């Protein structure tokens, strides 16, 4: 047997031995998988509520910013027409004209009244309880009142 042939045979023997060892070690055992899943579950149990809390806070902040944007648009409407839209006209008066003389809108970007971050329409009242108008997001539940993420968010003090 020549040296090259012996080397080739030796490589084949080593390669098949390595393959046999790998076959026995392929994949993870059921116990290892259960341990990993348990650890991931514990991490999610600790981190999940915080992430959801931040999400609720960010939606409340977004609602406040939208209400401030509506307030600015209402002030421009007032400067052009000398009055705020009444409750029947609502925030839609900022987006489209009712052939009102002096209307220089749309006063909202895109010409549409967006919903609040929870997908509900904003409530607009004019006159408001303590101001010429009141803009309210009813929170995550879409109902008046509530606490936590369901707390109503209103323009000015309520």
Q: Categorize the per-residue pLDDT at 158 as very low, low, confident or very high, splitting at 50, 70 and 90.
A: very low
Cα–Cα distance for residue pair 67/74, rounded to 1 Å: 10
Digit-coded pLDDT (tens) for 31-88: 888 999 999 988 888 887 777 666 767 888 899 999 999 999 999 999 999 999 999 9
Q: Kindly report the CATH number that applies to the domain delimited by 62-154.
A: 3.30.700.10
Strands (E), the chain: 123-125, 134-137, 153-154
Cα–Cα distance for residue pair 81/79, rounded to 1 Å: 6
Nearest by Cα to 126 from 60, 63, 74, 64: 74
For 19, residues 6+ apart whose C-beta sits below 8 A from its C-beta are: none
Question: So what's the pLDDT on residue 57?
Answer: 79
3-state secondary structure (DSSP) of residue 81:
helix
Digit-coded pLDDT (tens) for 123-140: 999 888 888 999 999 888
Instruction: Share the mean pLDDT of the chain.
Output: 81
Considering Cα of 107, then 110, then 113, then 115, what sign does the dihedral take?
negative
Strand order in the sheet with 134-137: 123-125, 134-137, 153-154
Name the strand (E) or helix (H) holding 76.
Answer: helix 30-81
pLDDT at 157 over 50: no
Cα–Cα distance for residue pair 153/136, rounded to 1 Å: 6
Cα–Cα distance for residue pair 42/50, rounded to 1 Å: 14
Digit-coded pLDDT (tens) for 76-120: 999 999 999 999 999 998 988 777 788 887 888 888 899 999 999
Q: Is residue 152 within 8 Å of residue 158, measured between CB atoms?
A: yes
Q: Is residue 155 within 8 Å of residue 131, measured between CB atoms?
A: yes
Q: Categorize the per-residue pLDDT at 18 as very low, low, confident or very high, splitting at 50, 70 and 90.
A: low
């Amino acid at each position: 047997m020549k040296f090259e042939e012996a080397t080739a045979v030796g490589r084949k023997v080593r390669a098949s031995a390595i393959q046999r060892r790998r076959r026995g070690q392929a994949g993870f055992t059921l116990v290892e998988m259960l341990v990993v899943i348990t650890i991931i579950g514990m991490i999610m149990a600790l981190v999940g509520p915080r992430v959801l809390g931040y999400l609720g806070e960010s939606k409340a902040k977004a609602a406040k910013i939208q209400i401030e944007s509506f307030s600015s648009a209402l002030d421009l409407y007032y400067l052009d027409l000398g009055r705020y839209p009444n409750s029947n006209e609502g925030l839609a008066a900022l987006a489209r004209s009712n052939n009102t003389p002096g209307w220089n809108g749309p006063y909202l970007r895109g010409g549409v009244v967006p919903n609040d971050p929870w997908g509900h329409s904003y409530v607009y009242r004019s006159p408001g309880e303590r101001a010429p108008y009141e803009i309210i997001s009813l929170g995550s539940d879409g109902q008046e009142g509530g606490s936590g993420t369901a707390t109503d968010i209103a323009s000015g003090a309520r």
